[in-house]
Amino acid sequence: AQKVTQAQTEISVVEKEDVTLDCVYETRDTTYYLFWYKQPPSGELVFLIRRNSFDEQNEISGRYSWNFQKSTSSFNFTITASQVVDSAVYFCALSEARETSGSRLTFGEGTQLTVNP
Amino acid sequence: DVKVTQSSRYLVKRTGEKVFLECVQDMDHENMFWYRQDPGLGLRLIYFSYDVKMKEKGDIPEGYSVSREKKERFSLILESASTNQTSMYLCASSLWARENQPQHFGDGTRLSIL
């Protein structure tokens, strides 16, 4: 069975601080995909990034960066110089690679990030 | 841009009622999903569908059923609503491909069962 754990339920920072959101996963599959989603107060989940299990390169997109470490089964997300607009619930998710049908996601519990001015 | 539209943002129903939640996507996606979101539990998959008239149970299908008569529409049905089904319900869709594609979500329906 697959499992995703986001141990940090809530994080509160002051604007311009860097913040890292942790994600640890469990799977028996050798091929899988990892995702991060952002859920602002409006409610809609917004896709941020997808990573497949064979690509361990870290990725940077503006103030966002992701650190994928297969050895520790972790896929952590860092926001540099946080802003108030980054306040949201962030979800890490895992999906198996299926040959014949759609990919289903297993989500972590989510981390509520609050960035204070 | 993909648009996933859920029929209601807020819904209040009574125990024992049959409740329909509708979801429509406009990007010809094969896959559609229904989740419920509860504090501290993240999103949990109720049902999903990878083709018209096809459906598969997710992690928590009890008390729910689904219908997919057309590719763009995926309905979640609460056969006899109960108070423990009060929750936020999220619909999503994705393109099927070997490289698992991201799911695109609707705004959610906050359902209260009284």
Convert the pLDDT of each residue in B40-95 to its tens digit: 888 999 999 988 988 999 999 999 999 999 999 999 999 999 999 999 999 999 88
Name the DSSP class of B113: E
Residue B35's beta-bridge partner residues?
Answer: B45, B90
Structure tokens at B106: 């609707």
Contact between A102 and B48 using a beta-carbon 8 Å cutoff = yes
pLDDT at B2: 67
Q: pLDDT at position A78, please?
A: 96
3-state secondary structure A31-96: CEEEEEEEECCCCCCEEEEEEECCCCCCEEECCEEEEEEHHHCEEEEEECCCCHHHCEEEEEEEEE
Contacts of B88 in chain A (CB under 8 A): 43
Chain B residues within an 8 Å CB radius of A95:
100
Whether A50 sits inside 8 A of B102 (CB atoms) is yes
In this prediction, residue A31 carries a pLDDT of 87
Q: Residues B102, B1: contact at Cβ < 8 Å?
A: no
- Does residue A104 sit at the B interface (CB-CB below 8 Å)? yes
Are the CB atoms for A88 and A41 separated by under 8 Å? yes
B107/A43 CB distance under 8 A: yes
Across B97-112, average pLDDT: 86
Task: Collect all residues with Cβ–Cβ distance below 8 Å to A88 and sequence separation of at least 6.
Answer: A38, A39, A40, A41, A112, A113
Q: For residues A24 and B104, what is the distance between their CA atoms, to the nearest angstrom?
A: 23
Strands B73-78 and B64-70: antiparallel
